[in-house]
Amino acid sequence: MTRVHNLYWEAAQKLSRQKLVVICLGIIAIYILVAVLGGFNVLPDYQTRVGAEYEAPSLELAKLLGTDLFGRSVLYKILAGTKTAMLIGVLVTSISVPIGVILGALAGYYGGLVDVGIVWLYTVISSVPYILMVIAISYVIGKGLVAICLAMGLLGWVGLCRLIRSEVLKTRNLEYVAAARVIGANDLQIIFSHILPNVIHLAIISASLQILGAIKSEVILTYIGVGIQDGASWGAMISDATGELVQGIWWPLAGVVLAMFLLIYSLNVVSDALRDALDPKLRGTTEVAEGDSQFEAKEAAIQKA
């Protein structure tokens, strides 16, 4: 466990030295804060009329990104949509990551019929296009936020399950696992206390990617009419903007695209940084590369001297 703790401590230090990663973490924190404030109804009501229809952006806070057809603030609608997007990302991740970790660990550790059954299950799921499966499940459960979260959560664990399974297959016969068996640890203790702590970095990386995928999927589903039906949503704003662009009304689409870009870009940067910092293989490659560059620099300095 000390080795695992050292890994995360070193990863945190490495991330803190990267300015772009720190900035992106700050942007993500702002989005989370907006979602939390929206949950406590602290944000301005996006349904309140603040001006005339389709007013262009101005320096007034409520009209910073202009107004829509009903004179409502585009900025306030984006903030309300942020709450929806972050809520979906967190809920979908909370469902899919535990499923992927548990099923992957069971398949990799036990093998045999357990492995065959789980592999068959995720092969069937992955053989059908993701969006079509989400639409089908949401139609069965019912349209709305809960249906979308359940559908995406029940389908989004496949990739992580494969990763965890492959890592557990590699580690289940290592010496520290054999030592745990010798001292009398049962299967659950070995899986959750000895094996998973050494592969859980995959779940952390997958969680950040899962949030990103859930947000994009919600926008696509709402845009085609099977997503969020009530409340503010970035997908609904993009759907409404398709007719507004013909009239030269560009600011609603520009505002929501900018909000999506900042969040998606930040999540991508943080996901890549987490992968580089936590994946032992990439860490080893990076350390070797850094060591080689330092050696070359010293050799060049010696030659100059």
pLDDT digits (tens, 9 = 90+) for 182-192: 888 888 888 88
pLDDT at 57: 92
Stretch 132-154: mean pLDDT: 84
Q: For the ranges 46-50, 255-259, 285-289, which has the lowest average pLDDT?
A: 285-289
Tens-place pLDDT, residues 90-103: 999 999 999 999 99
> DSSP assignment of 30-54, as one string?
HHHHHHHHHHTT-SPPTTSB-SSTT
Please check the confidence at residue 32 and state whether its pLDDT lies above 70: yes
% the chain with pLDDT above 90: 36
Record: fold of 2-54+61-304: MetI-like fold (1.10.3720)
Mean pLDDT estimate for the chain: 84
More confidently predicted of 107 and 278: 107
Please check the confidence at residue 289 and state whether its pLDDT lies above 50: no
121 pLDDT band (50/70/90 cuts)?
very high
Burial of residue 235 (CB within 10 Å: 0-12, 13-18, 19+) is buried
Stretch 63-72: mean pLDDT: 91
Tens-place pLDDT, residues 77-86: 999 999 888 9
pLDDT at 283: 55
Residue owning tokens 């009398």? 184
Q: Can you tell me the distance from the alpha carbon of 165 to that of 158, in angstroms, rounded to the nearest whole number?
A: 11
Taken in order 217, 221, 227, 232, the sign of the CA dihedral is: positive
User: What residues pair up with 67 in beta bridges, in sequence order?
Assistant: 73
Q: Which of 145, 148, 166 is nearest to 156 (CA)?
A: 148
Please check the confidence at residue 42 and state whether its pLDDT lies above 60: yes
Please check the confidence at residue 295 and state whether its pLDDT lies above 80: no
pLDDT at 293: 40
Contact 96, 152 (CB under 8 A): yes
pLDDT at 304: 47
pLDDT at 285: 44
Stretch 274-281: mean pLDDT: 74
9 pLDDT band (50/70/90 cuts)?
confident
5 pLDDT band (50/70/90 cuts)?
low
Stretch 33-57: mean pLDDT: 89
More confidently predicted of 33 and 6: 33
Please check the confidence at residue 291 and state whether its pLDDT lies above 60: no
197 pLDDT band (50/70/90 cuts)?
confident
Give, rounded to a whole angstrom, the gap between the first and last alpha carbons of the chain.
46
160-187 in b/e burial notation, b at 16+ Cβ within 10 A? bbbbbbebbeebbeeeebeebeeeeeee
Q: Can you tell me the distance from the alpha carbon of 214 to that of 208, in angstroms, rounded to the nearest whole number?
A: 10
pLDDT at 288: 39
| Whole-structure pTM value | 0.81
